[in-house]
């Protein structure tokens, strides 16, 4: 089966996205979707992440990037069957396709937990330091809220419409850490999912609360681009054999073109350089 045929085969199984949601994503570059995840999944994911944070300790996230004031985890497809299943959920894939088209693949599966009273905010940045190309947006992140996102606990700030700006925030702004006159806070309840055009200027605020603010980042790119984390090189061969056909396709494990693109060109993180 050709690459185009595989894309068509899988995308026909995805539900439709409401037109008003598509319009919001095109106009603003982000959307909070409520009810996208089945009941019980966010709490199960959170339990898996806390287990991994405890097991990995100070090394957590070291395969990709670590961040002051936060705990990080990386390469999560290779560490948990439950987490691997999170990358191949048709309702989620439908929203990702609404941003970058159906020719998509996983770019990375990571987690971030903003520490209590961490005093550290992220600068405005675009994921992977990437800007749209001639075909438009080619990266899309989904941020699963595993705790409520509030103004006091490190909610996300975004600049609506900035996914269409050809510049990165560091090129356009005197200070990407400073408040932006057009920024909006993205808040919500545990279980909500933020669909985020990865080219949108965004950043996490400092957590001034007494509890961590935890999220799963399920990040995709178009199939003609390198993965942020080269999945075939990271996932142990034994675990690869246990992935479903859809999970294998999403991770581009049987894609020679992805091997060429990603084996030497992955690793870009946007602001943690």
Residue with tokens 């996300």: 156
Among residues 53, 138, 40, the alpha carbon closest in space to that of 96 is found at 138
Angle between helices 90-100 and 3-11 (to 10 degrees): 120
How far apart, in Å, do the first and last CA atoms of the chain sit?
A: 39
Give pLDDT tens digits along the chain (273 positions): 788 899 999 999 999 999 999 999 999 999 999 999 999 999 999 999 999 999 999 999 999 989 999 999 999 999 999 999 999 999 999 999 999 999 999 999 999 999 999 999 999 999 999 999 999 999 999 999 999 999 999 999 999 999 999 999 999 999 999 999 999 999 999 999 999 999 999 999 999 999 999 999 999 999 999 999 999 999 999 999 999 999 999 999 999 999 999 998 777 666 544
Q: Which residues, other chains included, contact 50 with Cβ-Cβ below 8 Å and sequence gap of 6+?
A: none
Residue 239 to residue 81: CA distance in whole angstroms:
9
The 10 Å Cβ neighbour count of residue 68 is: 9
> Hey, what CATH class is 3-262 in?
mainly beta
CA triple 121-124-125, angle to 5 deg:
120
What are the residue ranges spanned by the domains of the chain?
3-262
pLDDT at 271: 58
Query: What Rg value do the Cα atoms of the chain yield, rounded?
Result: 17
**Cα distances (angstroms) measured from residue 266 to each of 105, 122, 234, 250, 260:** 14, 22, 11, 16, 11
Q: Which residues, other chains included, contact 148 with Cβ-Cβ below 8 Å and sequence gap of 6+?
A: 187, 188, 189, 190
pLDDT at 241: 97
Residue 131 to residue 163: CA distance in whole angstroms:
8
pTM surpassing 0.75? yes
Q: Which residues, other chains included, contact 258 with Cβ-Cβ below 8 Å and sequence gap of 6+?
A: 105, 223, 226, 227, 232, 252
Q: Which residues, other chains included, contact 157 with Cβ-Cβ below 8 Å and sequence gap of 6+?
A: 124, 180, 183, 184, 185, 186, 202, 203, 204, 205
């Amino acid at each position: 089966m050709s690459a185009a045929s595989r894309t068509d085969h899988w995308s026909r199984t995805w539900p439709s996205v409401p037109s008003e949601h598509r319009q919001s994503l095109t106009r603003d570059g982000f959307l909070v979707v409520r009810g996208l995840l089945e009941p019980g999944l966010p709490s199960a994911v959170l339990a898996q992440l806390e287990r991994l944070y405890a097991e990995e300790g100070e090394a957590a996230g070291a395969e990709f990037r670590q961040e002051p004031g936060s705990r990080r985890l990386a390469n999560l497809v290779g560490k948990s069957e439950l987490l691997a299943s999170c990358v191949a959920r048709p309702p989620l894939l439908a929203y990702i396709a609404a941003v970058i088209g159906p020719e998509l693949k996983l770019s990375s599966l990571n987690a971030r937990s903003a520490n209590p009273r961490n005093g550290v905010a992220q600068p405005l940045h675009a994921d992977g330091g990437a800007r749209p190309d001639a075909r438009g947006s080619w990266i899309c992140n989904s941020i699963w809220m595993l705790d409520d996102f509030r103004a006091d606990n490190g909610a996300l700030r975004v600049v609506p419409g900035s996914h269409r700006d050809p510049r990165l925030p560091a090129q356009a702004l005197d200070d990407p850490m400073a408040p932006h006159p057009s920024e909006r806070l993205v808040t919500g309840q545990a279980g909500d999912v933020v669909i985020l055009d990865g080219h949108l200027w965004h950043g996490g605020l400092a957590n001034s609360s007494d509890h961590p603010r935890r999220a799963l980042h399920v990040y995709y790119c178009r199939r003609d681009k390198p993965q942020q984390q080269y999945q075939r090189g990271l996932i142990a061969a034994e675990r690869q054999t246990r992935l479903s056909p859809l999970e294998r396709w999403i991770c581009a494990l049987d894609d020679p073109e992805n091997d060429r693109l990603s084996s030497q060109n992955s690793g870009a993180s946007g602001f943690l350089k």
